[in-house]
Amino acid sequence: MTWNRESKLNGFLVLLGVMAAWELAARAALFNPLLFPPMSKIVGSFFALLFSGEIPAQMLSSMRRAATGYFLAAIVFIPLGILMGLFNGVYRALEIVIESARPIPPPVIVPLAMLFFGLGDGMKVFTIFFSCAWPILLNTIDGVRNIDRVLLHTARTFGLSQGKTIASVIVPAASPQVMTGLRISLAITLILVVISEMVGSSDGIGYFILDAQRRLKVDRMYAGMLSLALLGYLLNQLFVLFSSRFLSWHRGMRAAR
């Protein structure tokens, strides 16, 4: 077997090297041990927190908020996007309202949401709902607008009703781009759930990390970040799996297989 210079193994070796260097540097107390606990301690406390159920419990409350806001946004803004993509009048009517709300950076919605919903779940759900709205809405509009005219003409030729055309032609044809919007929003959802829990919460993974930092439980902080990275990775993989199954008909139509 010859050694491939560009093998995937390189990356893992580097990762192992970094972890080993971290461990050694921390054990030799090269850096402030308060800030850099040894890697083994971080991994150890990660598993301890995992099996004691503390991290899963925090994750669960974060995920409940994230899922509620995310799906609410999808339920409201995909149909709205379809309407706005189909009917230019609707688009023109809402254009200025949307364009004036869109440049608001989502984190500054947190204080506003705190005012209306207090510190509970409603505040986080609303923040996520608001910030997921734009990628979903704009991508759906684009997706509907970019539908091949021939498809629509064909539907009309076959005498499909408006409702039937939307359900069996427009929604499937726009779905790849809707998926793009949903995928962008997934990343945004995670960011916003962490932000809203950092600013106003007493549980959830964002709170957990910031709280660990404030109490100088640094190994817990790193363990929380590790679990957040794993969660992000997992959610993304799940999404890819789901969307490739959902869009499998579409892949065959593209030039690149």
- Could you list the residues that contact another protein (CB under 8 A)? 5-8, 10-12, 14-15, 18, 35, 89, 92-97, 100-101, 103-108, 110-112, 114-116, 187, 190-191, 194-195, 198-199, 206, 209-210, 212-213, 218, 221-222, 224-225, 228-233, 235-236
Closer by beta carbon to another protein, 165 or else 176: 176
Closer by beta carbon to another protein, 75 or else 234: 234
- Give the length of the chain: 257
Closer by beta carbon to another protein, 27 or else 215: 215
In 106-244 the beta strands, taken as DSSP E runs, fall at none
Closer by beta carbon to another protein, 71 or else 239: 239
- Asked if 98 and 137 touch (Cβ cutoff 8 Å), the reply is yes
Helices 121-145 and 54-86: angle between axes, nearest 10 degrees: 40
CB of 234 to another protein, least distance (A): 8
Closer by beta carbon to another protein, 166 or else 195: 195
Q: Which two tokens stand for residue 73?
A: 């946004």
CB of 226 to another protein, least distance (A): 8
Helices assigned H by DSSP within the chain: 9-27, 39-51, 54-86, 88-101, 109-117, 121-145, 149-157, 162-165, 171-199, 205-214, 218-246, 248-251
CB of 52 to another protein, least distance (A): 21
C-alpha 203/C-alpha 87 separation (Å) is 44
Closer by beta carbon to another protein, 92 or else 251: 92
Classify residue 57 as exposed, middle or buried by CB count within 10 Å of its CB (0-12, 13-18, 19+). Answer: middle
CB of 151 to another protein, least distance (A): 19
Amino acid identity of 202?
S
* DSSP for 208-244, written as a single string: HHHHHHHTT-HHHHHHHHHHHHHHHHHHHHHHHHHHH
Task: Look up tokens 């499937």; give the residue.
Answer: 172
CB of 159 to another protein, least distance (A): 32
Q: Which two tokens stand for residue 160?
A: 């499909």
CB of 131 to another protein, least distance (A): 9
Closer by beta carbon to another protein, 153 or else 215: 215
- Asked if 140 and 177 touch (Cβ cutoff 8 Å), the reply is yes
CB of 160 to another protein, least distance (A): 29
